[in-house]
Amino acid sequence: MFPIIAQNILNALQLGSVYALIALGYTMVYGILTMINFAHGDIFMVGCYLSLAAALFLLGLPLHLPAGLIFLGALLFSMLLTAILGVAIERLAYRPLRQAPRVSAVITALGVGLFLENFTLAILGPEPRHFPPLIAMTPWQVGGLSLTLLQLLILIVTALILVLLDLLVRRTLMGMAMRAISDNRPIVPLMGVSVDRVISFTFALGSAIAAAGGLLYGLAYPVLDPYMGIRIGWWAFISAVVGGIGNIRGAMLGGFILGAVEILTPMVLPSSTYRDFVAFSLLLLLLVFKPTGLLGRPLFERV
């Protein structure tokens, strides 16, 4: 029994990593704009496709690059381009509506998401694409547990991103500016800080992290389609709310909780088709009993 549970925890950590990475984007944008960027799941999808494009391109070169280099190239390429996409979306779609009623921004975000889905569909067609197996999936047996290099890589890259982001928010001037905006936006320009610049940076950062999640997801679950961002986006959004939206560490925690919900549901309930039911029930219960999420108070809480 123990190895089965341990194995499932490992799998939950792998999936939870991806949810955590995407949840960060929801939570950071909410933290500084108090707006839910409903296009974020689709930004993740675009990041996933961009990773695929870069990986296929690098594999096609007659250089026989090592897999690690291809991974790194795809990671940097998709993070950079997805960051630009995120900044462009904010500039073109959200910024003109910053003074408008909240509901306008929400509807616009949904529209941007539909645009990204259908744009991808129009270019690539509906048939799913397959991610080339870059990283070895042959499992090592460690004490009754099977662990693949890919799982290890996902956990390490995620941990690295989480630690770096935490440092950025707590230690750098840009992180201070982000926290200041979440606390009292009107005062921030009085410090000589351009609020628009910080918001652009936040979108770039959140989108780049979602792209990293896209590459890791593509490697682990190698079937991509233009609508993949919808369900994963919802799960990441629930992760952010469960952890306490606006709270960065909360998003990390929520991601791993939702990963566990998805992996453990079929162990307890007869079929994995119950997973959305379980996840949304969890969300509803939490909203009733602890509306600000597990890690409590909203916004970039002092850490």
Partner 1 sequence: MLEVDNLWISYDRIAALRGVSFTVQKGEIVTLIGANGAGKTTILRALSGLVPAARGRVTFEGEDLLSLPAHVRVRRGMALVPEGRGIFGNLTVLENLRLAAYTRRRQDLERDLAAVFGIFPRLEERRHQWGNTLSGGEQQMLAVGRALMTKARLLLLDEPSMGLAPVLVQEIFRVLRRLNEAGTTILLVEQNARLALEVAHRAYVLETGQITLSGPCDELRHHPKVREAYLGGA
Of the candidates 192, 268, 270, 288, which one interacts with partner 1 according to CB under 8 A?
192
Least distance in angstroms from the C-beta of 27 to partner 1:
15
Nearest to 182 by CA among 169, 192, 172: 169
Beta-carbon contacts of residue 238 (< 8 Å; ≥ 6 apart): 254, 258, 279, 280, 282, 283
190 touching partner 1, by CB under 8 A: yes
What token pair was written down for 2? Answer: 């123990």
Least distance in angstroms from the C-beta of 181 to partner 1:
9
Residue nearer to partner 1 on the CB measure, 64 or 302: 302
Residue nearer to partner 1 on the CB measure, 91 or 129: 91
180 touching partner 1, by CB under 8 A: yes
117 touching partner 1, by CB under 8 A: no
CA gap 155, 53 in Å, rounded? 23
Considering CB under 8 A, how many residues would be counted as binding partner 1? Answer: 22
183 touching partner 1, by CB under 8 A: yes
177 touching partner 1, by CB under 8 A: yes
Of the candidates 32, 45, 257, 299, which one interacts with partner 1 according to CB under 8 A?
299
Of the candidates 1, 184, 268, 289, which one interacts with partner 1 according to CB under 8 A?
184
Of the candidates 1, 123, 191, 268, which one interacts with partner 1 according to CB under 8 A?
191
Residue nearer to partner 1 on the CB measure, 36 or 299: 299
Virtual torsion, Cα 62, 65, 67, 69, nearest 10 deg: -130
182 touching partner 1, by CB under 8 A: yes
Least distance in angstroms from the C-beta of 302 to partner 1:
4
248 touching partner 1, by CB under 8 A: no
**Piece of 5-13, 93-101, 121-129, 169-177 that binds partner 1 (CB under 8 A):** 169-177
The contact set with partner 1 (CB under 8 A) reads: 173, 176-177, 179-180, 182-184, 186-195, 299-302
